[in-house]
Amino acid sequence: MSNKSSFLEVKTLRKSYGRTTVLDDVSFEIKEGEFVCFLGPSGCGKTTLLLCLAGLEQPDSGDIQKRERSLARIPPSGRDVGIVFQSYALFPNLSVKKNIAFGLENQKKSKVEVETICAQLMTLLSLNEHEEKFPSQLSGGQQQRVALARALAVSPSLLLLDEPLSALDAQVRARLRGELRDLQSRLGITTIMVTHDQEEAQSLADRIILMNQGRIEQIGTPWEIYNEPATSFVADFIGVSNIFRVRSLGAGEFRSDSLEFRCPNHDKPHNEEVKLLVRPEDIVTSHTKTIHSFAEALVCKIEFLGPLVRLHTEASNKIKIVADLPKKAFEIGAVNLGTKLWLSAEPHDIKLLRV
């Protein structure tokens, strides 16, 4: 994808409602054909950002450019976007087919053309047998597909999805997730999806834009976001994390009362306070101290999660540490409640976070 030019460019977007800042200096670029997720907790500004892109909300300052043309004075109808809402917002009194054809009729397409496009989309989204049904006669997943078909019918250059899957139950959701990704790569349409579900974002997106309180915390591929989180917020939001506040002793050594890390890859000046992240699955336990051990802790709770076993441990000074062991590495009987274990992590698994 790196060879493709910038399709959408957002520059220092700001927006506030009275005293609450919803978007604070938001800037990013999206390439043509990319699938991008705006991810973040509710109230982080991700939906507002999406509505700004659609022209349904107006930013206080900043600019949005599509193919190097500013969209600032262009109303929603001129922006060439398709939009799907969480509630689907289907026209309740129109049949599936008429819903899909609605936008096409505005484009003054001939009857034959409308018919062809509708038929194609209905086949593509397996809605053929529901053509004459009304939205209220469809299941949630089917309604979602109709909304998608309606948005795609006018062949927009940008598809905006506002939490399209969150009203569905878990199974339908997982299946539609796959269908959505297939469809997107087949049509090659640039897509932005808003979600608060980190798993959904990770499985779908080429890149994730992670937001918190109106600011962008990090932009990156799902791999980067998980493995190289920039801030403790990102680390906490994506997956399970152990975050430690420690003081640098220089030469890659870090220490707090009960913790002791040696990671020569992070060189920080003496006495600086830093945050370190260790993912639970990167922790190795042993009964004796090893070269990479960073703490000795008591096992307080053992959770069996199928493929892995999660140990909740506590080092002195009540520091809680979560360690995940693969099922195979866990010996029944050897580790019990109250067992004392040494926890170790290799230097490259210890991440330095931006404070």
Q: How many residues bind other proteins (CB under 8 A)?
A: 36
Cα–Cα distance measured from residue 190 to residue 290, given in angstroms and rounded to the nearest whole number: 50
Cα–Cα distance measured from residue 104 to residue 108, given in angstroms and rounded to the nearest whole number: 7
Cα–Cα distance measured from residue 257 to residue 317, given in angstroms and rounded to the nearest whole number: 8
- Binders of other proteins among 59-118, rule CB under 8 A? 72-79, 81-83, 85, 87, 89-94, 102-103, 106-107
Annotate each residue in 1-30 with x if it binds other proteins (CB under 8 A) or - if it does not, as one string: ----------------x-------------
Nearest to 103 by CA among 145, 139, 156: 156
Q: Kindly state the greatest CA–CA separation across the chain.
A: 78
Q: Is 58 near other proteins (CB under 8 A)?
A: yes
- Which long-range contacts does 19-24 make (Cβ < 8 Å, 24+ apart)? 21/213, 21/214, 22/48, 22/214, 23/48, 23/49, 23/52, 23/59, 23/214, 24/213, 24/214, 24/215
> How far, in Å, are 215, 227, 249 from residue 211 at the CA level?
6, 17, 33
Q: Is 214 near other proteins (CB under 8 A)?
A: no
Q: How far is the CB of 108 from other proteins (least distance, A)?
A: 11
Q: How far is the CB of 130 from other proteins (least distance, A)?
A: 13
Strand order in the sheet with 273-278: 260-262, 253-255, 242-250, 273-278, 351-353
Q: Is 150 near other proteins (CB under 8 A)?
A: yes
One-character DSSP codes across 194-213: EES-HHHHHHH-SEEEEEET
> Candidates 5-13, 129-137, 179-187, 321-329 — which segment interacts with other proteins by CB under 8 A?
129-137
Q: Is 292 near other proteins (CB under 8 A)?
A: no
Q: How far is the CB of 56 from other proteins (least distance, A)?
A: 5
Query: For residues 195 and 313, which CB has a smaller minimum distance to other proteins in the complex?
Result: 195
Nearest to 199 by CA among 225, 162, 230: 225
Sign of CA dihedral 165, 169, 175, 178: positive
> Candidates 51-59, 312-320, 333-341, 345-353 — which segment interacts with other proteins by CB under 8 A?
51-59
Residue 133: what are its φ and ψ, rounded to 5°?
Answer: -80, 160
Among 9, 24, 29, 57, contact with other proteins (rule: CB under 8 A): 57
Q: How far is the CB of 81 from other proteins (least distance, A)?
A: 6
Q: Is 55 near other proteins (CB under 8 A)?
A: yes
Q: Is 56 near other proteins (CB under 8 A)?
A: yes
Query: For residues 19 and 73, which CB has a smaller minimum distance to other proteins in the complex?
Result: 73
Q: How far is the CB of 73 from other proteins (least distance, A)?
A: 5
Residue type at 242 in one-letter notation: N
Q: How far is the CB of 294 from other proteins (least distance, A)?
A: 49
Please report, as ranges, the residues that interact with other proteins according to CB under 8 A.
17, 54-58, 72-79, 81-83, 85, 87, 89-94, 102-103, 106-107, 134-137, 150-151, 154
